[in-house]
Structure 1
Amino acid sequence: MKNVKTNAMRQLDAKKVKYEVYTYDTEDGMIDGISVAQKCHQDVKLVYKTLVTRSASKKIYVFVVNVADELDLKKCAKAVHEKSIEMVHVNELLGLTGYIRGGCSPIGMKKKYPVILSDTASSMDSIIFSGGKIGCQIHCSVDDFMKITQASMALIV
């Protein structure tokens, strides 16, 4: 796969953040997080997915959770002090973020949305997340991730 810079990588480069890029084959259509971890030869515990939501007050929030976990929408609402949270429809993803399903990075979105990282990452030195296109993952330190996204950490699974 040709290594083309994504918006996420350009933002990391601009902030001089150290990161590693993993690419993987997508021809088999297997782009779920667990398959991606296996294709990148990485521990599933390191790989996180980006989930975009909308609150009852119509605010957009970005939640980043381990690929093996399921987002708890009630815990998410509590974490961001909202009445309720729901997933945005996949058809809205590109317009809101500039990314498509399977390639949505929490870094480099069209607009700056609040990012909440699962507290499961609190015991990790680094995490892997979408690089901004299908077939591409970024690996960086949790500290750098928190700084670049201005994320908060919460119990959301």
Structure 2
Amino acid sequence: MAKKKIQKTNAARILDRLGISYELLTYPVDESDLSAIHVAEVTGIPLAQLYKTLVVRGDRTGIFMAVIPGGAELDLKAAAAASGNKRAEMVHLKEVFDLTGYVRGGCSPLGAKKPYPVYCDESIVQHARICVSAGRRGEQLALAPSDLIRAAQAVTAHLIR
């Protein structure tokens, strides 16, 4: 039987183009629980190494992405300060797809419709390898934090409570 070929996401194609090595991990999606905690449970990836991507709107700079540990909560004041804003707020879920081309549970810091600024929580550099969404539910990219930072042209900062 032929092995089903997984079509690469924009995020994976960006990493390929940059010559960055990564591993594509797939897992069954539970539409009723898209949380990072659930993803960690079904994949066996330690929650501390599973990073989620949040879409945020700053009052001065507009849309940006915040990449934080799966079990953490975004500190909006810290995110605003890191991104050069006075205030920041989470983008409403209804807007995420139109802005990024990604759905909840499948938002990657790479390959969005537009190249938004990316801010990674400073904890990311404590790990040899982290996982972020590949841009589709049920798919994670495992890679070195420095490679994600380079690919996303990200800035590291304190972003969590």
TM-score between the two structures when normalised by the length of structure 2: 0.93
> Matches of residues 68-147 of structure 1 in structure 2 within 5 Å?
68-147=71-150
2:43 to 30, 40, 44: 40
1:148 to 123, 148, 151: 151
Identity %: 39
Identify if the C-alpha distance between structure 1 residues 39 and 2 changes in structure 2 by more than 3 Å, giving closer, same or farther.
farther
**Pairwise CA distance, 1:28:** 5.9
User: Does 1:52 find its partner at 2:55?
Assistant: yes
Q: Provide, for residues 52-111 of structure 1, a one-character-per-residue CA deviation record: whole Å limited to 9, x for no partner.
A: 011112511100000100000011111112110001111111111111111000000111
1:4 to 1, 7, 11: 7
SS at match of 2:64: strand
Q: Provide, for residues 12-57 of structure 1, a one-character-per-residue CA deviation record: whole Å limited to 9, x for no partner.
A: 1111110001111114632210110121111111100000011112
Q: Distance in 2 between matches of 1:132 and 1:75?
A: 25
Report the equivalent of 1:29.
Answer: 32
Contact 2:40 2:47 in 1 (8 A): yes
AA at the equivalent of 1:34: I
AA at the equivalent of 2:132: F
Q: RMSD across aligned C-alpha pairs, in angstroms?
A: 1.4
Flag structure 2 segments of 5+ consecutive residues without an equivalent.
none
SS at match of 1:54: strand
